[in-house]
Structure 1
Amino acid sequence: MQDVLHALFFVTAFGMVFLAVIAAEYLYVRRAGKTGVYHPRETVANLAAGFSYKIVDGIAIALFIQAFYLWVYQYGLQWNPSASVISIIALIVFIDFCFYLNHYMMHKVRWFWSGHITHHSSEHMNFSTALRQNFTFAFSGSWVLWWIPAALVGFDKNWVLLAIEGNLVYQFFLHTEQVRKLGVLEKVMNTPSHHRVHHGSNPAQIDRNFGGIFIFWDKLFGTFQDEDTAGEIKYGVNHMPAKPYNPFYLQVHGWVELAQDVWRFKDLRILYKHPEWADEHYGDSNQSMAEIPPTEKA
């Protein structure tokens, strides 16, 4: 019960910080006379999706994710280093590498993408976009790639929780167009410039810049794309949701479409193939949904 209360406290505390930053960005762009940065209905949908995601995720961490972590921990190296500058840096870097792997798989495996598509379906880039998450993340299983390697190494679960939450807090501040290039930091750190490319849907932008805090993973594994050479960035996904302002629909439509494709084609390979595989193999099964005029979308 105490872990659940801690999770709810974290959601409340950082939720207030995030809302304050979103409000500040909104007031800034209005005062600067910039238009098209915030869309009211989309922003409300982002906030609602983020709230449901973090509540479910926090409870899931308290109820079963940490329990599974401890079960795996007993079979690992049980390193359990004492707190030091080196061990803390090692944990931060290791957790970010695990996030890179997790994030990469969320883009490459249809099962994982069915939950992650929510985050990429926004047509705008602002701080509220960071909260456009999916409450099904805790049940998709992709968190195993982020949490469990640390259990096998032997990091304390509370340290890991802080490192993961800190990683997510850092990523919140990547979702903006108001911060341009950050000089030498662009070479090592993930920045708003790099993350804008990640949210693009044009060919040069798809499946690029997967890092959380650091960008050198992408440079090391060949998934990096600089904003200067990425072309004009178009936010969103190839198959936009039919109801872009319905928070519940935004979080479940990917799973519904996955189930429909598996049922229609009687092919379980769809579950683990890349997200566009069914369209490429059997034809564009989602074309009718993608072509619904905006005026008919709820």
Structure 2
Amino acid sequence: MQDVLHALFFVTAFGAVFLAVIAAEYHYVRRSGQTGIYHPRETVANLAAGFSYKIVDGVAVALFIQAFYLWVYQFGLQWNPSVSVLSILALIVFIDFCFYINHYMMHKVRWFWSGHITHHSSEHMNFSTALRQNFTFAFSGSWVLWWIPAALLGFDKNWVLLAIEGNLVYQFFLHTEQVRKLGILEKVMNTPSHHRVHHGSNPAQIDRNFGGIFIFWDKLFGTFRDENDAGEIKYGVNHMPTKPYNPFHLQVHGWVEMAQDVWKFKDLRILYKHPEWVNEQYPHHEQPLSEGVAAEKL
């Protein structure tokens, strides 16, 4: 019960910080005369999705993710290093590497993408976009790739929780167009510039810049794309949700469409192939149009 209360406290405390930052950005955008940065209905949907995600995720971490972590821990190296600058830095870097792998798989495996597509379906880039998450993440299983390697090494679960939450807090501040290039930091750290590319849906932008805090993973594994080389960035996904302002639909439509494809084609490979595989394997298959795209077609 104490872990659940801690999770709810975290949601409340950082939720207040995030809302304050969103309000400040919105005020700055309005005062500077910028348009097309915030869309009222989309922003409300982002906030609603973020709230439901964090509540479910916080309770899931408290109720079963940490319990599974402790169960796996007993079979690992049980390193459990003492707290020091070096061990904390090692944990931060290792957790970010695990996030890179987890994030990469969320883009490459349809099952995982069905939950992650929510985050990419926003057509605007602002701080509220960071909260556009999916409450099904805790049940998709991809968190195993992020949490469990640390259990096998032997990091304390409480320190791992702090490292993961800190990683997510850092990523919140990547979702903005108000911060341009950050000089030498661009070489090592993930920045708003790098993350804008990640949210793009044009060919040069898809499946790029998966890092959380650090960008050198992408440079090391060949998934990096500089914003200057990415062309004009178009936010969103190729198959937009049909109800783009309905928070519940935003979080379940990926799963529904995946299940429909499996049922239609009787092909379980759809579950683990990359998201566009079904369209390549069955070229006459088409996804439904979103409300906005459908209006453009008329």
Under TM normalisation by the shorter chain, which class is it?
over 0.9
- Matches of 2:291 and 2:168 in 1, distance apart? 34
- Matches of 1:42 and 1:294 in 2, distance apart? 17
Residue of structure 2 equivalent to 1:178? 178
Residue of structure 1 equivalent to 2:251? 251
Contact 2:243 2:291 survives alignment (8 Å)? no
Letter of the aligned partner of 2:233 in structure 1?
A: I
Tell me how far 1:292 sits from its aligned partner. Answer: 6.5
Residue of structure 2 equivalent to 1:24? 24
Letter of the aligned partner of 2:211 in structure 1?
A: G
- The unaligned stretches of length 5 or more in structure 1 are none
Tell me how far 1:218 sits from its aligned partner. Answer: 0.1
Residue of structure 2 equivalent to 1:231? 231
Tell me how far 1:286 sits from its aligned partner. Answer: 3.3
Letter of the aligned partner of 1:126 in structure 2?
A: N
Tell me how far 1:288 sits from its aligned partner. Answer: 3.5
Aligned length: 296
- The unaligned stretches of length 5 or more in structure 2 are none
**What's the RMSD between the two structures over aligned residues?**
1.1
Residue of structure 1 equivalent to 2:63? 63
- Matches of 1:295 and 1:44 in 2, distance apart? 22
- Matches of 2:160 and 2:249 in 1, distance apart? 32
Residue of structure 2 equivalent to 1:80? 80
Residue of structure 1 equivalent to 2:214? 214
Letter of the aligned partner of 2:139 in structure 1?
A: F
- Matches of 1:126 and 1:257 in 2, distance apart? 27
Residue of structure 2 equivalent to 1:283? 283
| Cα distance change on mapping 1:294 and 1:18 into 2, 3 Å | farther
Contact 1:278 1:284 survives alignment (8 Å)? no
Letter of the aligned partner of 2:251 in structure 1?
A: Q
Residue of structure 2 equivalent to 1:197? 197
Residue of structure 1 equivalent to 2:161? 161
Letter of the aligned partner of 2:84 in structure 1?
A: S
Structure 1 counterpart SS, 2:224: coil
Tell me how far 1:131 sits from its aligned partner. Answer: 0.1
Tell me how far 1:283 sits from its aligned partner. Answer: 1.9
1:41 aligns with 2:28: no
Worse-superposed segment, 25-34 or 279-288? 279-288
What do residues 200-220 of structure 1 show as CA deviations (whole Å, max 9, x unaligned)? 000000000000000000000
Letter of the aligned partner of 1:20 in structure 2?
A: A
Structure 2 counterpart SS, 1:232: coil
- Matches of 2:283 and 2:58 in 1, distance apart? 39
TM-score w.r.t. structure 2 length?
0.98
Residue of structure 1 equivalent to 2:267? 267
Contact 2:243 2:290 survives alignment (8 Å)? no
Residue of structure 2 equivalent to 1:14? 14
Give the fraction of aligned pairs with identical amino acids, expressed as a percent. 88
- Matches of 1:6 and 1:267 in 2, distance apart? 43
